[in-house]
Structure 1
Amino acid sequence: MSRFVCLAMILLLSAAIAVSAKPHEVYNKELAGQKAQECKTETGATDEEVESMMKHEPADSHESKCLRACMMKKFSFMDDAGKLSKEHALELVKLMSKDDADKEAAGAEIIDTCETIEVPEDHCDAAVAYQSCFLEHMQEHGLALDEH
């Protein structure tokens, strides 16, 4: 479950991308790092902004926000309209919960809640809004972010 939110933040955390990792692909730190470098180039973000994102720190520039939106799109959490892709998010939650029904249920509840929030039209700002929602509701469920 926590890996889902990490992706979502990295995700937000994380533009229409030609090459896209799908939730059914195995997520790992190497893949996240590769996608982060692609997004860094695409958004004009700095190495420091990539590092900050990987540490789940707040975005402090437009490029940093767009880095998160790019990552969300790379992992299919955000669609081309800038909205949360519930279907893909739920697929990943199921994979990441590793048959832990409580984590899967909490993840699904967080996705249901965050899918309904009003987000700005700007995809970069929308990514940050989703990130904030995920973090807030993770804390409510007692879930922690893993460092990846």
Structure 2
Amino acid sequence: MMMQISNCLVLALACSGFLLTLVTADEEEISMTLDEVVDLIEPFGDGCTPKPLREHIVEMVLNKEDAKKESKCFRHCMLEQFELMPEGQLQFNEDKTIEMMNMMFPDREEDGRRIVKKCNELLKAEQDKCEAAHGISICMLREMRSSGFKIPDVKE
């Protein structure tokens, strides 16, 4: 059961941009390689249009700012699947995103809310769902790091 929750959290955090080490209740780190994360995420691409290639999933997991359009659209597709960016919306659902962040950073809800609001606001004029999903994710990652959230870099 814990592994299912962890896997789900890894997937959601990967698609929203804040990933790669999970901290369990006893503060042990569970590390995953890039290939392991990509393997875990790959099946979620089956329902996406366009269906992502492995290179697009890798780009998303590595949070490449200059990612290909297909990588940005895959991020949007996953965010939609996890209801972090509901269908037809061009911004993150603040409550769902905070709920997800609280699993990993339980004592940072106020900071998390500020960051989600700031990044949603920053990209509010973006009309392309893929660009919005990518831009908000990259913004959140940058803001979380500058606010002292411990987010490891993903190694290629």
Q: Give the TM-score normalised by structure 1.
A: 0.67
Percent same amino acid among aligned pairs?
A: 21
Provide the rounded CA distance (Å) in 2 between the counterparts of 1:5 and 1:145: 13
Which residue pairs with 1:56 in the alignment? 63
Distance in 1 separating the partners of 2:62 and 2:37: 16
The root-mean-square deviation of aligned C-alpha atoms, in Å, is: 3.2
Match of 1:84 in 2: 92
d(CA) in 2 for partners of 1:10, 1:88: 14
2:136, 2:11 → 1: CA distance?
12
Gaps of at least 5 residues in structure 2 are 1-8, 19-31
Aligned to 2:119: 114
Q: For residues 36 and 134 of structure 1, do their structure 2 counterparts lie closer, same or farther at Cα, with a shift above 3 Å needed? A: farther
**Which of the two has higher C-alpha Rg?**
2
Q: Deviations over 1:98-119 (max 9, x none)?
A: x4x2x33322221122232224
What are the Cα deviations for residues 45-79 of structure 1, in whole angstroms up to 9, with x where unaligned?
A: 21111122222223522111101101111221101
Q: Contact between 2:11 and 2:41, CA under 8 Å: does it hold in 1?
A: no
Compute the TM-score of the two structures, normalised by the length of structure 2.
0.64
In 1, Cα distance between equivalents of 2:99 and 2:38: 17
- Cα distance, 1:125 vs structure 2: 0.8
Does the CA contact (< 8 Å) of 1:7 and 1:71 recur in 2?
yes
| Counterpart amino acid of residue 98 in structure 2 | L
Partner residue in 2 for 1:65: 72
Which consecutive unaligned segments of at least 5 residues does structure 1 have?
A: 14-28
Greater RCO (Cα-Cα under 8 Å, separation 6 or more): 1
